[in-house]
């Protein structure tokens, strides 16, 4: 008995549903009867279901899935020839639409498992248009294809094919099997939803490929479906992977593998179909049936309970309800809930009141979750100025980060409430220390001088180092707050204005505080950085003297602080102007320097004032302070203020209108096509009632219609294309309202012969070889009902302007702009509603306007599309005008009802009352609706409420996010996963910008603001990934500098770590230094980039609230904006610590070649290790060489230069 139990366990192990064996000669075989517990390598939508099915696609549109045996197999013999092998598998294809599916699946042998660059909605997930049929692909596949694609020479839409390195089969056959008894061929349908079995056998000696098929219950037929001779030794690599690939497009298909067996040099093990898992039900999932009628009383009670619960919930939510504004989409700081702020301030009680200003009150608060002390500014809601101040602070300080600026942590917008949340400054405002009563603690000189330098540093950042110029417009002691270490921070940005560098601020009102306002500001109302410099000069005098700018209780010679200090300067008694509360305990040279600098900054003439860059250089002793001249000492501010007056300024503008006389040119108008001579081909025809029918519902065909004679488009003698206009009325019918293949295009072409255009693609205009070719010489406006990633289509319902191909130079969602309010209204091209299109080209401005509207509307004044493109090089002198259309795998009919055209004049209007009528098309296939009639009306209400709640919960769960404790103190905007998903089109590969060590970066366009962003999706299976995410959020998330890549926001989702940045259109610097395809940077550009990065590093090391070590400075981490300005990015390795402390780092991180010697030796990073990296970066930019080049000498760039 003691030997029986091990023997029994061994026997059971050998009969498991999954068996895999191999020997020393490389022979291997395995058998999977279901896939539970297997270790297959899956990607994309592929997954193992709970009942053991291998599901390659899950119904997601435009997706792909792969599954591979996890280990590579050795396919070659010692002589290099591919060995014999045999494979069998059972599959099934299911779809919501029983009559049709899109894409199929393939068994594949490939050198690796990486198919990331394969298109998700085409090519069965195996390849893309650029790599299709490339010999370097080295894959062998058996395709089970449910689409007839003319481009791949498919024989039909239900076939088996042998594929070598691409989707063009070397041999194919309609799906089916040969009867063993009679030899008769029997068709099978891949779209039937039934499970089928496939056998693939390759003979290494005979180089014979046999493919056999049968329905599930049958034995393997004796005669193969396909038998083809091909030497796979030219294709399959010595080590290769075996598995399956599939993809979907517009139909929610699901592809399943139920069982799989494989053997090398022998027959694949037989699959016991009785032990296979079951396929799910075909078609849409049936609705559950209600078997009993709910009693009226029970139903009414349930409705009452649900209604009461909803009322209680709504009342609870209404107490803390908030408003969301459009401008918040691009905004950074955290949005607090009113509930949290209410509790933090204990209901805004007076005991927590810190102060009251002109626009509202400020309360101290403590956030419950983080225990963070905050200051909550509650802006007065009855003041219109209050709303302006609120928006001003959110837009300006909300996105500004500097150690000497008060940080805005977040905000809240509630009906009747405008709230801003700041860092809490425990030492209050500076004015309380300057004007305290005798006996109270005052500031010593060192503290005052440090505050002066801090505010100067903050102003320099606002004026020159942030991404925009920010003018504070209210610099004064009461707006300077002191932190726990008595550092000065400039706050209260309620009057701030910001504008682009290199432009002028347009202000028409003088705002600020009397005594701090520059003379020119009072006179003209125009603020500038120099008006801030003036206020800073007054502030500097105020801090040094301990006196207010204007004191009406004093005599005239002492009333104005500037005049009083000037008087002491003239008399040589400048030290007498210093605050007497210092009791002489101060640095005399520094105090006199501060007073002179204050006078220089507050000079009444702007050309005599320094800018803040110069002020900082004076304060840091980098420049000597210029001596004040006799003229500087002669002005009298009081008299200047009394003499200034206000002159009215009138703003006016004029708009010139040009109406050149133009000669009349040919025009054409067609309100019906009966009796009209058009050149027709393909499916195009004229119906008896006068419709131009381009397609007639036949699948995968095309149709064209052209005006019989060409038009002369070029002017003489310039050769440029003349102005022209066209309008037409069209309609598109599709049997499925949400699924429609291809659309219709108006075009101008050199000829009418489009015989080489594909019938099932390219809208009947081109093919895979000539698409986009400049020799095509056609201009088209497409009305497209199919989203094709190959052509970068924006969606499956758009209008586009095309030049020589199907990649639109400009496109827009189909719709129109309302003339009354400017709102955009969507239109559905495939709705079978008649619509009118206007296409206009201005030969002088080369402007193309495309407008769309429902038939019963006048032409909207705002075009749907407006783009500039000179088509003189596109159109030939003689060209034909007409229409083109094609159908794909779906029944569609394309009609043109009326058409007019004019050269050098508007297209004649179409009288819609004279248009022919569209035919009555049969009703579209109705969706399956479960009608459960209940005798009690309240029971129906229960079903509606229950369904709505379930849908709402499912919708919220789909985009469910995680919230972390550290987010409370975080600045940038938290994006919803839903918005980022749509912005990147589902993180599709065609939006992929690059791949790094921790994740991928995608280009995206935010749905509401249309702002272009770069979305970094950090790998969630990497521990380093979460560390990088936190590092970037904590550091760059709160940094703001014009030479640092801005983090717009973030998203934290279960299994997803996502950062959202500014999109840098010019890419990274290294591509310009080393990529031969990129233009070479000029010396001026390189020097500017070096200065930009130096400015950014100075901000990180000295000017932000903490010291930030970047630790990875190199050209690939420097991105370039539209104007080729350098911006430092990628803060994944960044570390930050307090000023005056030492960084604690224990690991050497960075990039070889940029690491300082002491970092490699001690692992301790410092600002100087960043400086070392910056030095290597400077050499690299100047020399155009990498830090280390693998040459014969194997030299480092720095040592090479030194030698």
Is 470 strand, coil or helix? strand
716 is in an annotated binding site: no
> Counting beta carbons within 10 angstroms of the beta carbon of residue 914, is it exposed (0 to 12), middle (13 to 18) or buried (19 or more)?
exposed
Cα 516 → chain centroid? 44
Positive/negative CA dihedral, 746, 751, 753, 754: negative
Q: How far is it, in rounded angstroms, from Cα 370 to Cα 382?
A: 32
User: Would you tell me how many other CB atoms lie within 10 Å of the CB of residue 187?
Assistant: 9
Which of the residues 163, 249, 252, 474 is marked catalytic? 474
φ/ψ (deg, to 5) at 161: -140, 150
User: Would you tell me how many other CB atoms lie within 10 Å of the CB of residue 1113?
Assistant: 24
Cβ pair 417, 381 in contact under 8 A: yes
User: Would you tell me how many other CB atoms lie within 10 Å of the CB of residue 565?
Assistant: 23
Cβ pair 723, 844 in contact under 8 A: yes
Q: How far is it, in rounded angstroms, from Cα 831 to Cα 732?
A: 7
Q: How far is it, in rounded angstroms, from Cα 1020 to Cα 926?
A: 43
Cβ pair 784, 732 in contact under 8 A: no
Half-sphere exposure of 1176 (CA within 13 A, CB side): 24
The reply to whether 1121 belongs to the active site is no
Positive/negative CA dihedral, 298, 300, 302, 305: negative
DSSP state of 922: P
Which residues touch 743 (CB under 8 Å, ≥6 apart)? 732, 763, 782, 783, 784, 785, 786, 829, 885, 894
Cα 808 → chain centroid? 20
Which residues touch 225 (CB under 8 Å, ≥6 apart)? 160, 173, 175, 176, 177, 178, 211, 212, 213
Give me the torsion for CA of 364, 369, 372, 378, rounded to 10°: -30
Cβ pair 1000, 980 in contact under 8 A: no
Cβ pair 598, 545 in contact under 8 A: no
Give me the torsion for CA of 1144, 1149, 1151, 1154, rounded to 10°: 30
Reduced 3-state DSSP string for 150-214: HHHCCCCCCEEEEEECCCCEEEEEECEEECCCCCCEEECCHHHCCCEEEEEEEECCCCEEEEEEE
378 is in an annotated binding site: yes
φ/ψ (deg, to 5) at 825: -120, 130
In sequence order, what E strands does 59-126 have?
64-68, 73-74, 85-95, 105-110
Q: How far is it, in rounded angstroms, from Cα 844 to Cα 723?
A: 8
Instruction: Give helix 561-571 / helix 588-601 axis angle, nearest 10°.
Output: 120
Is 996 strand, coil or helix? coil
Quick check: bond before 1178 cis, omega within 30?
no
Quick one: which of 834, 852, 830, 836 has its CA closest to 900?
Answer: 836
Using alpha carbons only, what angle is made at residue 191 by residues 185 and 193, rounded to the nearest 5 degrees? 105
Strand partners, 699: none
Residues flagged as binding site = 378, 1017
Residues labelled catalytic: 474
Residues flagged as binding site for ATP = 378, 1017
């Amino acid at each position: 008995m003691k030997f029986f139990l091990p023997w029994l366990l061994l026997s059971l192990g050998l009969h498991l549903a999954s068996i895999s064996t191999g020997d020393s000669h490389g022979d291997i075989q395995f058998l999977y009867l279901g896939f539970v517990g297997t270790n297959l390598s899956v990607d994309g939508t592929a997954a193992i279901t709970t009942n053991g099915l291998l599901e390659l696609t899950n119904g997601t549109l435009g997706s792909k899935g792969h599954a591979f045996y996890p280990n590579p197999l050795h396919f070659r013999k010692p002589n290099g020839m591919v060995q014999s092998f045999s494979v069998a598998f059972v599959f099934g294809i299911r779809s919501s639409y029983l009559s049709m599916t899109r894409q199929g699946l393939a068994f594949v042998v490939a050198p690796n498992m990486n198919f990331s660059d394969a298109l998700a909605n085409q090519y069965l997930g195996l390849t893309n248009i650029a790599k299709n049929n490339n010999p370097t692909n080295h894959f062998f596949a058996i395709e089970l294809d449910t689409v007839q694609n003319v481009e791949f020479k498919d024989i039909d839409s239900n076939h088996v094919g042998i594929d070598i390195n691409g989707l063009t089969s070397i041999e194919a056959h309609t799906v089916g099997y040969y009867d063993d008894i009679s030899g008769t061929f029997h068709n099978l349908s891949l779209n039937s939803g039934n499970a089928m079995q496939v056998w693939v056998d390759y003979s290494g000696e005979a180089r014979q490929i046999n493919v056999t098929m049968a329905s599930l219950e049958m034995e393997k037929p004796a005669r193969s479906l396909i038998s083809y001779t091909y030497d796979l030794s030219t294709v399959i690599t010595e080590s290769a992977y075996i598995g399956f690939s599939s993809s979907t497009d517009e139909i929610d298909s699901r592809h399943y593998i139920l069982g799989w067996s494989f053997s090398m040099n022998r027959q694949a093990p037989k699959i016991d179909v009785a032990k296979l898992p079951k396929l799910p039900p075909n078609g849409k999932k049936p609705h559950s049936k209600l078997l009993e009628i709910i009693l009226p009383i029970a139903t009414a009670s349930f409705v009452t309970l649900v209604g009461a619960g909803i009322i209680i919930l709504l009342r609870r939510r209404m107490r803390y309800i908030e408003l969301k504004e459009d401008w918040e989409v691009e905004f950074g700081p955290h949005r607090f809930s009113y509930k949290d702020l209410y509790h933090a301030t204990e209901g805004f009680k007076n005991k927590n009141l810190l102060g009251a200003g002109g626009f509202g009150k400020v309360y101290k608060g403590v956030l419950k979750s983080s225990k963070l002390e905050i200051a909550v500014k509650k802006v007065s809601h009855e003041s219109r100025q209050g709303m302006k101040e609120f928006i001003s602070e959110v837009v300006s300080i909300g996105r500004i980060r500097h150690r000497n600026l008060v940080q805005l942590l977040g905000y809240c917008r509630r009906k009747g409430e405008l709230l801003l949340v700041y860092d809490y400054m425990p030492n209050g405002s500076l004015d309380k220390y300057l004007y305290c009563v005798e006996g109270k603690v005052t500031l010593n000189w060192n503290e005052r001088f440090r505050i002066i330098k801090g505010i100067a540093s903050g102003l320099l950042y606002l004026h020159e180092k942030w991404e925009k110029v920010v003018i504070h417009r209210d610099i004064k002691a009461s707006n300077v707050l002191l932190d726990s270490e008595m550092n000065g921070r400039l706050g209260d940005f309620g009057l701030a204005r910001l504008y682009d560098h290199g432009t002028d601020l347009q202000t028409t009102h003088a705002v600020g505080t009397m005594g701090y306002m520059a003379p020119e500001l009072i006179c003209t109302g125009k603020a500038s950085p120099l008006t801030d410099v003036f206020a800073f000069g007054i502030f500097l005098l105020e801090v040094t003297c301990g006196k207010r700018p204007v004191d009406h209780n004093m005599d005239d010679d002492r009333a104005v602080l500037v005049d009083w200090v000037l008087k002491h300067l003239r008399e040589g008694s400048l030290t007498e102007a210093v605050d007497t509360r210092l009791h002489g305990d101060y640095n005399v040279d520094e105090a006199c320097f501060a007073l002179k600098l204050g006078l220089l900054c507050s000079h009444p003439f702007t050309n005599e004032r320094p800018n803040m860059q110069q002020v900082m250089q004076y304060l840091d002793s980098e420049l000597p302070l210029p001596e004040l001249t006799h003229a500087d000492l002669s002005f009298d501010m009081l008299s200047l203020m009394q003499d200034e007056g206000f002159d009215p300024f009138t703003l006016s503008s004029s708009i010139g209108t040009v109406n050149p006389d133009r000669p009349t040119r040919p025009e054409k108008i067609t309100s019906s096509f009966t009796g009209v001579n058009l050149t027709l081909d393909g499916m195009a025809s004229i119906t008896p009632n006068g419709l131009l029918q381009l397609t007639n519902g036949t699948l995968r065909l095309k149709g064209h219609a052209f005006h019989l004679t060409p038009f002369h488009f070029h002017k003489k003698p310039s050769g440029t294309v003349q102005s022209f206009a066209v309008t037409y009325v069209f309609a598109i019918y599709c049997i499925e309202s949400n699924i429609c293949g291809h659309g219709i295009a108006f075009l101008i072409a050199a000829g009418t012969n489009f015989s080489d255009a594909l019938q099932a693609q390219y809208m009947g205009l081109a093919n895979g070889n000539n698409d986009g070719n400049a020799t095509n010489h056609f201009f088209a406006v497409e009305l497209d009902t199919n989203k094709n990633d190959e052509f970068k289509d924006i969606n499956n319902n758009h209008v586009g302007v095309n030049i020589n191909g199907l990649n639109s130079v400009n496109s827009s969602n189909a719709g129109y702009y309302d003339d009354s309010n400017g709102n955009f209204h969507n239109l559905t091209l495939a709705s079978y509603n008649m619509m009118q299109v206007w296409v206009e080209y201005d030969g002088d401005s080369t402007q193309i306007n495309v407008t769309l509207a429902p038939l019963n509307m006048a032409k909207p004044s705002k075009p749907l599309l407006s783009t500039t493109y000179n088509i003189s090089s596109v159109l030939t002198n003689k060209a034909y005008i007409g229409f083109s259309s094609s159908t794909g795998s779906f029944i569609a009919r394309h009609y043109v009802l009326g058409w007019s055209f004019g050269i050098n004049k508007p297209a004649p209007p179409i009288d819609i009352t004279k248009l022919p009528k569209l035919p009555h098309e049969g009703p579209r296939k109705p969706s399956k609706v479960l009608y459960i009639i209940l005798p009690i009306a309240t029971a129906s209400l229960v079903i509606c409420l229950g369904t709505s709640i379930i849908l709402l919960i499912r919708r919220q769960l789909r985009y469910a996010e995680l919230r972390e404790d550290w987010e409370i103190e975080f600045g940038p905007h938290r994006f919803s996963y839903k918005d980022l998903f749509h912005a990147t089109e589902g993180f599709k590969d065609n939006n992929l910008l690059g791949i790094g060590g921790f994740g991928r970066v995608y280009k995206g366009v935010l749905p509401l603001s249309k702002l272009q962003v770069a979305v970094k999706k950090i790998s969630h299976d990497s521990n380093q990934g979460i560390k990088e995410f936190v590092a970037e959020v904590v550091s760059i998330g709160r940094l703001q500098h014009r030479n640092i890549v801005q983090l717009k926001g973030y998203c934290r989702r279960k299994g997803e770590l996502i950062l959202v940045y500014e999109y840098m259109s010019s890419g990274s610097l290294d591509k310009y230094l080393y990529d031969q395809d990129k233009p070479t940077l000029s010396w001026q550009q390189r020097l500017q980039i070096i200065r930009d990065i130096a400015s950014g590093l100075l901000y990180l090391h000295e000017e932000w609230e903490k010291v930030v070590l970047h630790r990875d400075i190199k050209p690939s981490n420097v991105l370039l904006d539209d104007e080729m300005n350098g911006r430092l990015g990628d803060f994944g390795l960044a570390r930050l610590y307090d000023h005056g402390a030492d960084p604690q780092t224990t690991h050497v991180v960075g990039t070889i070649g940029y690491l300082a010697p002491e970092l490699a030796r001690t692992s301790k990073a410092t600002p100087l290790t960043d400086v070392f990296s910056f030095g290597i970066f400077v050499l690299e930019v100047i020399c155009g060489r990498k830090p280390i080049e693998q040459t014969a000498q194997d030299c480092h760039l720095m040592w090479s230069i030194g030698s």
